[in-house]
Amino acid sequence: MWHESKKVFRKNPTFSLEDISALRLGRQSEGLKKYTEEKADGRCFSIIFKGRRKNLDLMASSEEEAKQWVNSMEKMISNMNNLNTQEKTEHWIFTCLSKADKNKDDQLSESEVKNFMRLINIDMDDEYTNMLFKKCDTSKSGYLSGEELKHLYDLLTDREEISVIYGEYAKTTGYMNPDNLVEFLMKEQREKASLTDAHRIIEQCEPDETAKAKKLMSKDGFLMFLHRPEALLLNPEHQDVYQDMSQPLNHYFISSSHNTYLMEDQLKGPSSTEAYVRALLKGCRCVELDCWDGSDNEPVIYHGYTLTSKILFKDAIKAIQQYAFKNSEYPVILSLENHCSVEQQEVMAHHLSSILGSALVTKPLGDNMPTTFPSPEELKGKFLIKGKRMNKLESLFTQEADAEDTDVTEEEESGDEEEVDGKKKNKKKLKLAKELSDMVIYCKSVHFNGFEDARNNLSFYEMSSFKEGKAKKLAAESANAYIHHNVDKLSRIYPSGSRTDSSNYNPVSLWNAGCQIVALNFQTTCEDMDVNQGKFMVNGKSGYILKPAYLRDRTTEFDPITLTRGEWLRHKIFHLMVISGQQLPKVNNKKSSIVDPVVKVELHGVPADVATKETSVVTNNGFDPSWNENFQFDVYVPELALVRFLVEDYDSTSDNEFVGQYTIPFNSLQMGYRHVPLLDKVGDVIPSAALFVHVMVLDA
């Protein structure tokens, strides 16, 4: 990539296409809006990187050139993303080979081979490297080139565990025929399979044309098949929207974000419209906007009483409008934390209606006063405002005069004052602008005065926010009452104000109590965000997961703590064998650093199901470590359980380092021999990296 700049790029003058998460044409970033004129729109584009790396804002000399850059890069990225696993592995190994070939003579000396091993994450002793080298150096030249390099590649990528499984079923002169493949699918993978399926798989996966013509499958073809998306750990039927989306909104868990505008911590981190874009593209369906009076009568968003930077309210709404439905068509809730004067609230209302237009819900669906929430299906492509409302929704259908109501902030709603630097903040009661108040239809914020009060005095659309500590206490001490509350109403949970580093809390116990809007700091990478991503990975990544029937039933006796008998108790025995790992990434780029991988398997769910087991450590091998270790778990409430596979680099003197993880709902597991893709800290897939496991779930 060539570019001209007055600035000397000392750091990172190059970057890999794999680091790019998106390209955006036009003046979409804050930097471009601030430093370029509107007429340059067509010449501008931004490169958005994965992780926390800053965007690169560029300006081409013409609109044509900008389009060409964006289209070409998008095409190359799409080509890379569409490589199959075999091609990805080869691409990665070729990259390492060319890095190891220091003098670029297309051949590797023995010391270059050792260097290559380190690049692919294996540290071998000299004796073993020497033996491997001699095995491949058939020309006895002291260098490996051409066919000899291919032989080295074959030796390294040969997977003994695959040979064993394949050998078990390849009964036709060393090949698998369609009958053998059907037997494997039914017996090992517990799938319904026919000869037609087997013929289709051989046609799609067999790389050897001769074998394909004879309707046979080679070991290479078999491995290609095991890497196909539908053969991985996640049940392919759960990848698209497969749940009933016509239930009332409060019958779903909703992927939700807290302080959505922040890119980092909540004391001095930057606020950015990019943070909204990232959360929405990750499937988040409830975003938070902390609104304060800004200059020139334009409301701003930032974390009040702190040094976080500010963004314009209208810019945030524009970004939300543009990206809300790119990855999910189901409704987005805008949770307003309103600190503005009446004048600037009127400006907020104006921006909401002019930017969101008919997508904004400003009156109940239907002609009569609703008695329950509409469904995600009915609200497709719509925005709901969560905030204060002056009067009851019923007043729309009667001639009652508007009652004046004062505004309450989130902290007061949940009944606890938030302290900043040990001092209580002075809360000024705010007056509400009618225009903004009238936009609150299905999510009216109200104070929580206990379950009985809520049952007797609150309408279905009146919802409370709970600080994590209070919510956790309710979930632990009166889980069944909380579940009943959430059968009729919505609950939003948010992290406590003491989490100045924007850390997160574990959402699982709150989901177990039926809470729908469990808001996490999406900008923070951690185990709790991994679990959240795993929970919402299924159902088309729509951001909505239907609650189990016993969390939607008005007469339910379910209590996740005491676990009395009931339809929720479906005791399963979960047998898992962690067999091997493939191409695990290094945790740092020092040439000498080689991963010592250990795998932890965690079960998250009701307290009775929570468990962690771990394998032994494999030293000095992140390329093809092998464990072959068996574990057994009891799972009592499978519908609420999640399984997390965590790979760490073992360290005897300090904490283990994160290598990769994958979290999946227990009921979405496929049985048999499966590859488990691995995700990095921010939740992106690590190319070529995987675990290979065997899964069996039996009724207890």
Residues marked active site are found at 258, 303
Query: Residue 438, annotated ligand binder?
Result: no
Closest CA to 685 of 276, 238, 234, 46: 234
Query: Residue 367, annotated ligand binder?
Result: no
Give the SS3 label for residue 609.
Answer: helix
The rounded distance, in Å, linking the Cα atoms of 554 and 460 is: 13
CB 593 within 8 A of CB 128: no
**Phi-psi label, residue 605: left if phi above 0, alpha if psi -120 to 50, beta otherwise:** left
Spell 215-253 as b/e; 16+ CB within 10 A means b: bbbbbbbbbbbbbeeebbbbbeebbebebebebbbbbbb
Query: Residue 290, annotated ligand binder?
Result: yes
Amino acid making up residue 213: A
CB 342 within 8 A of CB 431: yes
Closest CA to 275 of 253, 299, 303: 303
Give the SS3 label for residue 544.
Answer: strand
Closest CA to 273 of 290, 264, 288, 261: 261
Query: Residue 650, annotated ligand binder?
Result: yes
Q: How many CB atoms lie within 10 A of CB 34?
A: 9
Residue spans of alpha helices (H) in 101-230: 110-119, 126-136, 147-157, 160-169, 178-187, 195-205, 209-213, 219-226
- What one-character-per-residue DSSP string does 247-291 give? S-GGGEEE-EESSTTBSS-TTTPPB-HHHHHHHHHTT--EEEEEE
Amino acid making up residue 602: E
Query: Residue 82, annotated ligand binder?
Result: no
- Dihedral angle at the C-alpha atoms of 179, 183, 184, 187, nearest 10 degrees? 170
Closest CA to 507 of 515, 601, 488, 499: 515
With 0-12 / 13-18 / 19 or more C-beta atoms within 10 angstroms meaning exposed / middle / buried, residue 473 is: exposed
Token reading at 426: 């002075």
**Phi-psi label, residue 543: left if phi above 0, alpha if psi -120 to 50, beta otherwise:** left
Query: Residue 579, annotated ligand binder?
Result: no
Query: Residue 386, annotated ligand binder?
Result: yes
Please report, for residues 17, 74, 96, 226, the alpha-carbon distance to residue 78 in angstroms, rounded to integers and kept in the order given: 10, 6, 22, 22
Query: Residue 435, annotated ligand binder?
Result: no
Token reading at 658: 């994160």
H/E element holding 346? helix 342-356
CB 326 within 8 A of CB 296: no
Amino acid making up residue 20: I
Query: Residue 457, annotated ligand binder?
Result: no
Query: What do you get for the CA distance between the two ends of the chain, in Å?
Result: 59
The rounded distance, in Å, linking the Cα atoms of 581 and 626 is: 6
Query: Residue 465, annotated ligand binder?
Result: yes
The rounded distance, in Å, linking the Cα atoms of 471 and 376 is: 25
Token reading at 622: 């992140």
Token reading at 156: 């390294």
> Beta strand 300-301 with 286-292: parallel, antiparallel or unpaired?
antiparallel
Query: Residue 115, annotated ligand binder?
Result: no
Query: Residue 318, annotated ligand binder?
Result: no
DSSP structure class, residue 461: T
Sequence-distant (6+) residues with CB within 8 A of 206 are 212, 216, 217, 218, 220, 221, 224
The rounded distance, in Å, linking the Cα atoms of 426 and 27 is: 40
Point out which residues pair with 649 in neighbouring strands. 597, 657
From the annotation, which residues make up the binding site for Ca(2+)? 259, 288, 290, 337, 594, 596, 620, 649-651
Annotated binding site for substrate: 386, 388, 465, 492
Could you list the residues known to form a binding site, using ranges: 259, 288, 290, 337, 386, 388, 465, 492, 594, 596, 620, 649-651
